[in-house]
Structure 1
Amino acid sequence: MRWKLVLIFVFFTIISSFAGDKLLTMQEAILGSYGKLRVRNINQLKWIGNSNELSCVDSLNGLYGLVRIDPLSGDKKMLLTLDSLKSAVKKVSEISIRRFPSVNWINRDTFYLFYHNNLFVYNLRTKSACLKNSVPDKAQNIRIHPKSFNIAYTIDDNLFVSLCSGGKIQITFDGGNGIKNGSVVHRNEFGINKGIFWSPDGNYLAFYRKDERFVTKYPLVDIDSRPAKVRFIRYPMTGMASEHVSVGVYNILSGSTTFLQTGEPADKYLTHVTWSPDSKSVFIAELNRDQNHLRFCVFDPATGERRKILFEERDKEWVEPLYDPIFIKGKNNRFLWFSMRDGFNNLYLYDTNGRLIRQVTHLKTDITGFSGFDPESKKIFFTAAKNNGLEQHCFSASLKSGKITQLTKQNGLHRTDFSGDGKYFIDRFTNHTVPRIISVFDCSGKKQTELLKAENPVKEYKLGKIEYLKIKNKQGITLNARMILPADFDPQKKYPVIVYVYGGPHGQMVRDSWLSGWSLWFQYMAERGYIVFTLDNRGTNNRGSDFEQTVFRNLGKYEVEDQMAGINYLKKCSFVDTLRIGVHGWSYGGFMTISLMTRQPGVFKTAVAGGPVIDWRYYEVMYGERYMDTPQSNPNGYKEANLLNYVDNLKGKLLIINGAVDPTVVWQNSLSYLRKAIDLGKQVDYFVYPGDEHNMFGKDRVHLYQKITDYFTENL
């Protein structure tokens, strides 16, 4: 009973004893979730326009195609077979459709498809397709206006529009040689995932223009040619010159372009470009390069004039806007704004004059997404973290009183999608024992029908038991952890441990969810007699700003301290072989792996670090300066975090793995570590994936995890 006594921090144990005795192969562990071990899903499940009916692409009565679903009864009706769609498209084009393209509903009877750069509209009543528009094969960053069917796109860093009425407009002519139009800016930080923004009425097109001519060119070597060639990317390292971003607005009717007057300094960040519902205003969040002062502004799209600074936010650590403003349905002058200003991600109601009407939510946890409005726009729906971030649930809140109601009850992760009329929502649910359940609820949280309950795809395999733990650090802060025990666990035996670590911002790893994807490798190792342990330290997300911002200007310090709280817990477990503890992580987790190995020498016998940041001076501006400031303003912080300063502490076996053309954590990081190890007479194992970037995929990923597994087998 001794081993049970040490589990005083366990708050629930998953006694998931699978009856099967098969063992995962490496191919199954890494790629199986995309094949025969895939968790069953409903393809293209979505609401039909603003109705409360659903559609999906599925088989029904021996036919395959677009199916309508009644959300109350679950009854299904075939709307359009794939064969019928193929025939209709063939009548108006030379395109041969092989699979059912993504359906975009216009109304209950009409939808559009974008397939092989061609835009088709299909009418269910007339059973006919119409070719509305198309773009060249080289087109990138494609954005379709859902009413006019005009298509904006880029070629060679210039912006174009293909008109539904016929003809092509070239909007910019300066693309190339360090200037990019219409693409993502700021390296996808701040929630930015596009560079082209149609106005609701389709008369204007806002776009990013990025000037990188001041940014240092960084060399990547392409070995596919003879001789090898150097390919340069723009990589702004911390403290160095950064990109200059502006926002242009093209008027479709007049053919003129106006740039918004965002002013100096030119290297600030422009995020969350959003049109007002009436297309008369453009809103932008301007963030200074230090990322501690945000100004939310409104601009005139016709003149480019900044009409007003609506509000400002400051934080002594950082301000990180991640969500666009959300306009209240049916109102052009009121919107919701996400903010961490009270220590948690809550929602605030503003008018378009910048007046704070009220703070709508006062949660002591982080809201993770907005879901929709009720039919009268008196309530909002959103998802938020719960149980110290382990779970995610759906809630409603009154816009007037702020009264909050939890709509989902079952422990785990809920992703919700509300109908256009706000009366119903799809709930996609999973937890540690449930692969996936998809149900329809009404807006009060009452379950209407269950559309799918996926079977366990690994029920025939001999997997380990999973335990979720609560572990306190030195400050008494509770940390979430997960431990996977060996498949044939015997508490009287001792087992080696592999600590899988990420530990960085937005890097929560421990959640009450089904393990799938390459994470089945954890179970692969458990089948072979390892304990696999993961802990979310301070600095990770969904625990509020105090928890996340502890690491500011000191990356690696508090994360290592918290990870050691997990190690101390493990050392108290009688079934842990304390002389055989290994650690593995990638990217920030690679940084953490080497930090743990060399800042806590002698604790870990073996380590595998992939794509590691070694010196934060070699990392990019947007991410690096948010958490560390610049090397010029924080020299001590950069020195303490620099892993080159701990190479002499290295004990045990260390394998570093890198993609040879990594554009995220550049190769210079790990090469500099090798050089320092050589200079100090330290032996380090090293493996490179030629042609791979920051991560490996497909067969390369299978090879990668075989390499990692072999290293632990031989050295742990």
Structure 2
Amino acid sequence: MRTPPRSATWWVLPVVLAACAPPAGSPPVRAGAPAAASPGGGAAPKVSDAGGKTAIAGPEASRVTFAHLGRQPPLGARLPRGVQYAPGGKLVTYLQRQPDGPEQALFAFDTASRETRQLVASGDLLKESKPLSREEELRRERQRMFSRGITAYSWAKRAAVMLIPFGGDIFLRDAAGAIARLTSTPEPEIDPQVCDGGERVVFVRGRELFMIDVASRRETALTRGAPEGVSRGLTDFNGQEEFDEPSGFWISPGCDRVAYLEVDEREVERVPVFGVRDGKEDLQMVRYPRVGGKNPRVRAGVLDLATRKTTWLAWKGGQEERYLGRFAWADGGKALWFQTLSRDQKRLALLRANPRSGEAAEVVVETSPTWADFGEMRPLERSPRFLWATAAGGHRHLAVRDADTGAELAKLTAGDWDITALAAPDEERGEARFVATKDGPTERHLYTVPLAGGEVKRITAEPGVHFVTVEPKGPGYVDVHSALGRPWEAVVRGEGSAELGAMPAPVDPELADLGLRAPEIVQVRAESGDTLYGALLAPRTIEPGRRYPVVVSVYGGPGVQTVYNSWSPLLLWNHLADRGVVVFQLDNRGSANRGRAFEAPIYGRLGEVELADQIAGLEFLKTLPYVDAGRVGIYGHSYGGRMALSALLKAPDRFHVGVAGSPATDDRLYDTGYTERYMGLLDQAAARYEATDLSKHAGNLRGKLLLLHGLMDENVHVAHTAKMIEALMAADKRFDMVVFPGERHGYRSPVASHFANRTIVEYLTEHL
């Protein structure tokens, strides 16, 4: 469970679990019963003799096989990822999975010749891949990174030099295409970053900061002597998992200073994470900031690369318990911006620091009766102003503020919609650029607005979801977009959105013969009067007078949206629908990108409002003549696992079969950064926390329950499921359980992925 992702390169990736909305302005679509089978369908579901109910067909009824469901990497579109503009803007580079294997390689689109070529493959760096270090494994888990091969790279801003971390070492590609290996060490280099001029590389090794001079290959230790439990240049668990802060250091534009975090976790609870891999026990003691317990002590400093001395930042109230994040250099390195959140996350402050003296002062302060999120801030280079986007007014909107006083100079956007990502401004043309929901909650488009204020203009034309990477100092952008029934396209555009060419975004050829269908959008009225957006995939063939069972695919947690107008193969959904199952998904209140009034009802009572809205979704389904409301299954993972479990225990008359993957069963067992944001501090809200303990409802279980959990889950610890098991046994309730001995929160191995998908489908279809 985590907050929405933030990307330094503005590669905006919504969590596309369902693609499900009509073009903006279309009326809501009410799912109707198809009259006949669509081309490419499998065998029709068998009809039973009991009350018009329809038996679920066997797996042979779908062309989507269990082998398709368990593929790693998952079948879908080979999208360009990690899109970046090279210095000068001539090349647009990106990562993409190769057609003949699971590994990603690095490619480039030339805006002049309009040709695409491969720049670097993993075999160009190392002939044999090395196993991931424990540190890198956990970083990838925090970033939800499932890719293999080359997974990251970065350009120097002022030089045609590209840094590529791979196999725990650092590689550099120069303007001529030559690749140099900068490190070859037993211990991995973590989070390497290249200076703007390309002359130095800074990284973390063994909890300390190091630097390499590219020309001489000379390595220098920048910090020394960190005791066990203390790190320099790394973020802690909360920073990576809950605040989307993958880095713990930031190099100044002139490469003469490095701002960094020192994290002291010595007082943070140590929790054992135990598993078995290849028949061998694997025990790891992790620092885990559990609700009500100690957080790490974190301070920020600025390291002078010439003197190797650190100046620690200080400001009024700086000793209070808080979270630090969103560091950004400005004014040519003369200013350092950062943000703080109070421990209870009700007070957000934006601060400006003098990197020489370390003195910092609050420039903007915002408070909330529920919770505040880190804002998005972009310094302007041509004037002492900055762009600031937060949800202080109820929706996430954009303003221009004075860099010295923080005073708001102009509101640039307003309305019942949200900015979901703020891009680099085009100061040459005097425009701010951003992606937003202005044309509907299930849409994502690129917009511009004059920095002086004025009309908001939509730039992307086609309906749907647009992942956009803008040219940092120019009018161009890369637009990767899709919509319901329209697979992904990747277009490079220049001045005036003129098309310069296309990058490949092919769909895996195995999908062509599967007869895949897209879900329909539905709108559901919550008991609060709010409109909820859902996705519905009906069985391929529906016979008049027959009723079909339902499977609800659920996430339901805060900070995430699952219903979008974008393309996804939805293989598991299609498999179930081909066999005669109605598949449904709903974004309940509390989900992201609908404004604070839509999110806030969950505060202090996680799981209550969400379940009420999911029940409202079932009430909607009951109005459809082909739905059998007496046979409802539900499945989900993480917060979705919590929701599936909650549905079976708190609404057993409505939900009859459930699969709960890695569920959080008691908020007192989860981490501070996530849980205290939505529940408050434990010592001030003990009764509210007590109410989230699902084990108290174990005696209500009447349906069939399957629990899934990875033993090595260091996010939602297996203790959550263990507590539930104890309560179910005490209540003398039968349930089923599958444990993945070597898996963490995400089931990464091909064997585990295949087994999990097959088990979910078989359990639901057997018991509905």
> 8 Å contact 2:271–2:285 — kept in the other structure?
yes
The farther-off stretch of 352-361 and 615-624 is: 352-361
Please name the residue that 1:5 is paired with. Answer: none
1:372 aligns to what SS in structure 2? coil
Please name the residue that 1:239 is paired with. Answer: 292
Please name the residue that 2:185 is paired with. Answer: 136
Within the alignment, does 1:29 sit opposite 2:69 as a pair? Answer: yes
Which blocks of at least 5 consecutive residues in structure 2 are unaligned?
Answer: 1-26, 43-61, 99-104, 128-147
Q: When the two structures are aligned, how many residues end up with a matched partner? A: 684
1:624 aligns to what SS in structure 2? helix
> 8 Å contact 1:65–1:81 — kept in the other structure?
yes
Q: Residues 287, 17 of structure 1: CA spacing in aligned structure 2 closer, same or farther, 3 A cutoff?
A: same
1:110 aligns to what SS in structure 2? coil
> 8 Å contact 1:48–1:105 — kept in the other structure?
yes
Please name the residue that 1:537 is paired with. Answer: 588
* Counterpart code for 1:675: E
For 1:625 and 1:451, locate their aligned partners in 2 and report how far apart those are by CA, in whole Å. Answer: 43
The farther-off stretch of 22-31 and 40-49 is: 40-49
Within the alignment, does 1:213 sit opposite 2:274 as a pair? Answer: no
> 8 Å contact 2:411–2:453 — kept in the other structure?
no
Describe how 1:33-432 pairs up with structure 2 within 5 A: 34=74, 37-41=75-79, 46-51=84-89, 54=92, 68-70=109-111, 75-76=114-115, 110-114=160-164, 116=166, 117-124=169-176, 129=178, 131=180, 133-134=182-183, 136-138=185-187, 139-164=189-214, 165-175=216-226, 177-185=228-236, 186-188=238-240, 189-223=242-276, 228=281, 230-262=283-315, 264-306=318-360, 308-321=361-374, 323=376, 325-331=377-383, 333-353=384-404, 354-374=406-426, 376-432=428-484
Q: By how many angstroms is 1:42 displaced?
A: 5.1
For 2:81 and 2:311, locate their aligned partners in 1 and report how far apart those are by CA, in whole Å. Answer: 42
* Counterpart code for 2:111: D
For 1:279 and 1:575, locate their aligned partners in 2 and report how far apart those are by CA, in whole Å. Answer: 64
Q: By how many angstroms is 1:264 displaced?
A: 4.4
Please name the residue that 1:572 is paired with. Answer: 623
* Counterpart code for 2:758: Q
Q: By how many angstroms is 1:657 displaced?
A: 1.0
* Counterpart code for 1:76: E
| TM-score, normalised with respect to structure 2 | 0.82
Q: Deviations over 1:306-331 (max 9, x none)?
A: 2x2111000000111153x2112434
> 8 Å contact 1:465–1:486 — kept in the other structure?
no
> 8 Å contact 1:14–1:467 — kept in the other structure?
no
For 2:94 and 2:704, locate their aligned partners in 1 and report how far apart those are by CA, in whole Å. Answer: 51
Q: Deviations over 1:211-248 (max 9, x none)?
A: 11111111122445999464211111111111111112
2:752 aligns to what SS in structure 1? helix
Please name the residue that 1:95 is paired with. Answer: none
For 1:254 and 1:18, locate their aligned partners in 2 and report how far apart those are by CA, in whole Å. Answer: 71
For 1:234 and 1:107, locate their aligned partners in 2 and report how far apart those are by CA, in whole Å. Answer: 36
The farther-off stretch of 213-222 and 133-142 is: 133-142
For 1:101 and 1:655, locate their aligned partners in 2 and report how far apart those are by CA, in whole Å. Answer: 34
> 8 Å contact 1:292–1:316 — kept in the other structure?
yes
Q: Residues 305, 684 of structure 1: CA spacing in aligned structure 2 closer, same or farther, 3 A cutoff?
A: same
1:31 aligns to what SS in structure 2? coil
For 1:366 and 1:203, locate their aligned partners in 2 and report how far apart those are by CA, in whole Å. Answer: 38
Q: Deviations over 1:243-301 (max 9, x none)?
A: 11111211111121122125544531011111114111211211110100112111222
Q: By how many angstroms is 1:548 displaced?
A: 1.1
The farther-off stretch of 108-117 and 700-709 is: 108-117
2:421 aligns to what SS in structure 1? strand
The farther-off stretch of 222-231 and 470-479 is: 222-231
Q: By how many angstroms is 1:534 displaced?
A: 0.2
Q: Deviations over 1:408-438 (max 9, x none)?
A: 2322101112224422222111111111112
For 2:429 and 2:457, locate their aligned partners in 1 and report how far apart those are by CA, in whole Å. Answer: 16
Q: Residues 695, 473 of structure 1: CA spacing in aligned structure 2 closer, same or farther, 3 A cutoff?
A: same
Q: Deviations over 1:656-680 (max 9, x none)?
A: 1111121111111111111111112
Q: By how many angstroms is 1:384 displaced?
A: 0.5
2:563 aligns to what SS in structure 1? coil
> 8 Å contact 1:179–1:211 — kept in the other structure?
yes
Q: By how many angstroms is 1:368 displaced?
A: 1.1
Please name the residue that 2:521 is paired with. Answer: 468
For 2:95 and 2:739, locate their aligned partners in 1 and report how far apart those are by CA, in whole Å. Answer: 42
Q: Residues 702, 57 of structure 1: CA spacing in aligned structure 2 closer, same or farther, 3 A cutoff?
A: closer
Q: Deviations over 1:512-540 (max 9, x none)?
A: 11114xx4212122222211100000000
> Could you say what the CA RMSD is over the residues aligned between the two structures, in angstroms?
3.2
Please name the residue that 2:24 is paired with. Answer: none
| TM-score, normalised with respect to structure 1 | 0.88
* Counterpart code for 1:309: E
The farther-off stretch of 544-553 and 368-377 is: 368-377
> 8 Å contact 1:14–1:432 — kept in the other structure?
no
* Counterpart code for 1:714: E
> 8 Å contact 2:650–2:700 — kept in the other structure?
yes
Q: Deviations over 1:614-650 (max 9, x none)?
A: 1100010000000001222112321222212211211
Please name the residue that 1:655 is paired with. Answer: 706
Within the alignment, does 1:685 sit opposite 2:736 as a pair? Answer: yes
1:565 aligns to what SS in structure 2? helix
For 2:157 and 2:345, locate their aligned partners in 1 and report how far apart those are by CA, in whole Å. Answer: 42
For 2:183 and 2:290, locate their aligned partners in 1 and report how far apart those are by CA, in whole Å. Answer: 39
* Counterpart code for 1:426: V
Which blocks of at least 5 consecutive residues in structure 1 are unaligned?
Answer: 1-7, 91-97
Please name the residue that 1:4 is paired with. Answer: none
Q: By how many angstroms is 1:446 displaced?
A: 5.4
The one of 660, 665, 669 aligned to 2:716: 665
1:162 aligns to what SS in structure 2? strand
* Counterpart code for 1:341: A
Q: By how many angstroms is 1:366 displaced?
A: 1.1
2:580 aligns to what SS in structure 1? coil
2:754 aligns to what SS in structure 1? helix
> 8 Å contact 1:601–1:651 — kept in the other structure?
yes
The one of 550, 554, 558 aligned to 2:605: 554
The farther-off stretch of 440-449 and 313-322 is: 440-449
> 8 Å contact 1:374–1:443 — kept in the other structure?
no
* Counterpart code for 2:663: P
* Counterpart code for 1:160: F
> 8 Å contact 1:383–1:394 — kept in the other structure?
yes
* Counterpart code for 1:136: T
Please name the residue that 1:499 is paired with. Answer: 552
2:352 aligns to what SS in structure 1? strand
* Counterpart code for 2:368: D
For 2:116 and 2:649, locate their aligned partners in 1 and report how far apart those are by CA, in whole Å. Answer: 62
Q: Residues 247, 113 of structure 1: CA spacing in aligned structure 2 closer, same or farther, 3 A cutoff?
A: closer
Percent identical among aligned pairs is 26
Q: Residues 683, 322 of structure 1: CA spacing in aligned structure 2 closer, same or farther, 3 A cutoff?
A: farther
Q: Deviations over 1:314-368 (max 9, x none)?
A: 0000111153x2112434x221111101111111212221222122211321111
1:10 aligns to what SS in structure 2? coil
The higher relative CO (CA closer than 8 Å, separation ≥ 6) is in 2
> 8 Å contact 2:668–2:689 — kept in the other structure?
yes
